[in-house]
Structure 1
């Protein structure tokens, strides 16, 4: 059974299997994700979840970022929602799928705190999460079948939490089988009129996958033919595919990419391009006649107005950060795309609503052929005085061809965390993550519980 081959791979994975580059990149992504989590602590949907947890309580075993404790599965839900809400965490680009592997961090922290997981064990479990989710995205994409990328995430959460809990191969297989059978999400999450669920779909998977691992820990079994069986994952959703788990490593994290701007991942090179154009030529939004963007087909369909709906209708954060028209307009008007560009007043302002209507997006086959090895785009700005300015991009700072340094990641972390933390606390978090081999999950959570709401 495939699930047993996968569980054997998970059981045999160890810290020694991580290259030095993979270890460093995992720690960089941990700090990046903690920044996005702390920066989201006053997000309305996240605060709604927090009120729910406060109302219902639960066993106080796993720490909530910002204070309090609850059950591991509920902590996975809340802390994962923090990581995800801003839509500012990392991504992995496969030809037919895009995912955010750092979505798994909240689950591993929640489970790891219950087992006194040390830093080396945490990084190993996180490496497992990245490998499982990214390889399934490579070989078994589901977006075109109408399912969400959180579908593959169900396997990654259960795999990594099982590793964090120290489950044996049989219980790990059952955890994966339960989670993979139960958590097949619809792509409507990210099409048409977008809702809070866009940012909460993976946190829900984090909750369910963690819960599945806890069930397996206590002896609950799942369908062993979850992958290849009658009406299983292949038969019902993904189609036939093959991954030789016995030959897999833990290096896929090195192919993931980090966001420079608080925007959907496929927009990053276009946003960087618009900011560079504005700096070079000094034009303003009032001078613009229209803006034409040529881009690869995946970006066109997800954020440009293709198969996932009209992206010139922007009424809320969830729609704004999935509208290339909005994000490029914000880059021109404000010179940046950060959390403040998604405030209600900014979204509804006349200047940006008017400008985004002038942005036209079209797919270009040459660029589609170069994706995902590149993130190609061409922006052409036509001004009212007859001038034309254009720029062509193949990547951005944060893409795997131009990786971010520790210094840049720390700057991003500082900017997001500053309103909710002291300088001393931020320094402690950075140093703990950079030297996580010498620390434990409990050490880190003792710091994160000190994060405070601004108000």
Structure 2
């Protein structure tokens, strides 16, 4: 058997009953969190533009768009994944050499599952597969240092999980993941320098293409059998050598993922907690700040701190702001929080935050880097003009491995995000369906999601 066939055999055999109760509960929490951040983005400018395009294009009404309307599965996968990705408020997985967001696959799984009348249990199983494939490939085959985006491994996860949601047999699953993985090797320039809308749309594209690959495979279209190990295949051309025995994999990787507390790039979370701690200390006055120094780990410095992926001082847009650690620290010190409202265009370019971020210096620490990703260490020091120094250190946050989000706290985040677009009865309906998803139908969830307003009340 080829490696893609080994992976496909794992995907075909996956059963939710084989997952631990803790993993199933965390899957449901991830669905709630993903749906919440998706609804919270419904009125974002790029999302409105994409909905308008889909309405103009039309398409057979097979899969639901959150906020109402239906289209083809691959287009629904793109739109719903764009929603869940746009705010950059979703979950994450931290491997030593790679960071990704497995919940990005939910749009593909939801659209594919609905199109075939699947059960909620089927959806959760496919979603668990997406987590396992995405995280494990990131463990053994990181590609960021080689100049490729994390969506590259995600293409295999999207193709495999969409095929699982469609109920395809192993041979067609192998073809789906091979097509998606071959065709979607993406450049890391997506997240370097000054960021564009594509930062938030790169994975929705993969979600769409993974769904399309699964649909093609369902009609007998084949993909490269040796996509991983073959001549000019993934290992030779992209990742380098790696080994993984899919026959020994389970469905527990969701427990190794983390959920964001702040609406910010994942590596900033502990530093932003430190900023909140300093802001609450007696005698602190944000108007009298002389300088700010953050010590962090190398990945945070490289991606959002002004390291190898570009200077983070020119901030004009939402995409640039949520990937600039100086801007995020400044706005938290000023406002006390970082939620969607901080990304209003006028707040992003406001003089106070733009001035304060210029006072921030960020340096990486070898010691902190060695502790990552098991820990997320951050030491923050703020000096006032009179010489007073405020310090705070954080190693974790609510939502990290050692302090995982439970259903009640996940519900608080969900309610805060969706309240502008729903009434109390609809919030309760959606949350209840998700918590009971293993005994519900996907159609029940999509019918509820179609009732969400696309405009804030």
**What is the TM-score normalised by the length of structure 2?**
0.99
What is the deviation of 1:454? Answer: 2.3
What's the counterpart of residue 201 of structure 1? 202
What is the deviation of 1:47? Answer: 1.1
Counterpart contact for 2:284–2:390, Cα < 8 Å: no
Distance 1:333 1:401 in 2: 29
What's the counterpart of residue 213 of structure 1? 214
What is the deviation of 1:235? Answer: 0.4
Q: Give runs of aligned pairs for residues 260-279 of structure 1, distance below 5 A.
A: 260-279=261-280
Distance 2:7 2:283 in 1: 54
Deviations 1:245-293 (A, max 9, x none): 0000000000100000100000000001110111123412211111100
Distance 1:123 1:347 in 2: 37
Deviations 1:46-87 (A, max 9, x none): 111111100010000000000100000000000000000000
- The secondary structure found in structure 1 opposite 2:347 is helix
Counterpart contact for 2:295–2:365, Cα < 8 Å: yes
Distance 1:405 1:249 in 2: 22
What's the counterpart of residue 453 of structure 1? 454
Distance 1:257 1:149 in 2: 16
CA gap of 1:282–1:321, structure 2 versus 1, over 3 A, is farther
Q: CA RMSD in A?
A: 0.7
What's the counterpart of residue 308 of structure 2? 307
Q: Does 1:43 align with 2:40?
A: no
Q: Give runs of aligned pairs for residues 113-124 of structure 1, distance below 5 A.
A: 113-124=114-125
- The secondary structure found in structure 2 opposite 1:382 is strand
Distance 1:161 1:199 in 2: 20
The ranges of structure 1 where at least 4 consecutive aligned residues each deviate by more than 2 angstroms after the TM superposition are none
What is the deviation of 1:361? Answer: 0.6
Q: Give runs of aligned pairs for residues 37-116 of structure 1, distance below 5 A.
A: 37-116=38-117
Q: Give runs of aligned pairs for residues 88-167 of structure 1, distance below 5 A.
A: 88-167=89-168
Counterpart contact for 1:380–1:390, Cα < 8 Å: yes
What's the counterpart of residue 226 of structure 2? 225
- The secondary structure found in structure 1 opposite 2:362 is strand
Distance 1:357 1:118 in 2: 52
What's the counterpart of residue 235 of structure 1? 236
Deviations 1:16-39 (A, max 9, x none): 111000000000010001110000
What's the counterpart of residue 3 of structure 1? 4
What is the deviation of 1:193? Answer: 1.1
Counterpart contact for 1:284–1:332, Cα < 8 Å: no
What is the deviation of 1:392? Answer: 1.3
Deviations 1:137-190 (A, max 9, x none): 000000000000000110000110111111111111000110000001100000
Q: Does 1:361 align with 2:368?
A: no
Counterpart contact for 1:293–1:362, Cα < 8 Å: yes
- The secondary structure found in structure 2 opposite 1:32 is helix
What residue ranges of structure 1 are gaps of 5+ in the alignment? none
Counterpart contact for 2:42–2:455, Cα < 8 Å: no
Distance 2:411 2:111 in 1: 24
Deviations 1:287-328 (A, max 9, x none): 111110000000000000000111111110000000000111
Distance 1:279 1:440 in 2: 46
Deviations 1:376-408 (A, max 9, x none): 110011111111111111111110111112111
Deviations 1:86-133 (A, max 9, x none): 000000000000000000111110000011111111111111000000
Distance 2:38 2:364 in 1: 33
Distance 1:242 1:65 in 2: 39
What residue ranges of structure 2 are gaps of 5+ in the alignment? none
- The secondary structure found in structure 1 opposite 2:258 is coil
- The secondary structure found in structure 2 opposite 1:281 is coil
Deviations 1:312-349 (A, max 9, x none): 11110000000000111111100000011111100110
Counterpart contact for 2:288–2:385, Cα < 8 Å: yes
Distance 2:65 2:363 in 1: 43
**How many equivalent pairs are there?**
455
Counterpart contact for 2:77–2:204, Cα < 8 Å: yes
What's the counterpart of residue 333 of structure 1? 334
Counterpart contact for 1:90–1:259, Cα < 8 Å: yes
